[in-house]
Structure 1
Amino acid sequence: MALMWADVLDIAIELVERHPQVDPRFVNFVDLHRWVLELPEFSDDPQRGGEKVLEAIQAAWIEELD
């Protein structure tokens, strides 16, 4: 299954699994963007990962941990 920027929840779940020691409240967007691009299933245009989508991913990641 290919992940796209619109797959916010699926990306958040993958990040929870890949970075279990990380508190997403303190992740900067540069690192978050890089980590999303490093997901093996991710195959969207890196330029489309703007601040709003990164905020949504971060919020979903926080929700997954709660």
Structure 2
Amino acid sequence: MKWTDSLLIAEALYDKFPDIDPTKIRFTDLHNWVGELDGFDDDRHRSGEKILEAIQAAWIEEAK
């Protein structure tokens, strides 16, 4: 997975953290959690606020 794979990342986060409310997460936590996902293979410094927002939005949709 790369930072641009927001839907795949959101699905993986939903599976790994089923009890987390994605509307209440901090971007610093989200950034760390993405970097720790199995299958994540991208430069940890390539993310930004827009990417994290897209991942969070996809995770919110996944959690509905």
Same fold (TM over 0.5): yes
Q: After TM superposition, what 4+ stretches of structure 1 lie above 4 angstroms from structure 2?
A: none
CA RMSD in angstroms comes to: 0.5
- How far residue 55 of structure 1 moved from its aligned partner, in angstroms, is 0.3
Name the residue aligned to 1:15: 13
* TM-score in terms of structure 2 length: 0.97
**Contiguous gaps of at least 5 residues in structure 1:** none
Name the residue aligned to 1:52: 50
Q: Secondary structure at the match of 2:33?
A: helix
What pairs up with 1:22-61 in 2 under 5 angstroms? 22-61=20-59
Percent of aligned pairs with the same residue? Answer: 55
Equivalent pairs counted in the alignment come to 64
* TM-score in terms of structure 1 length: 0.94
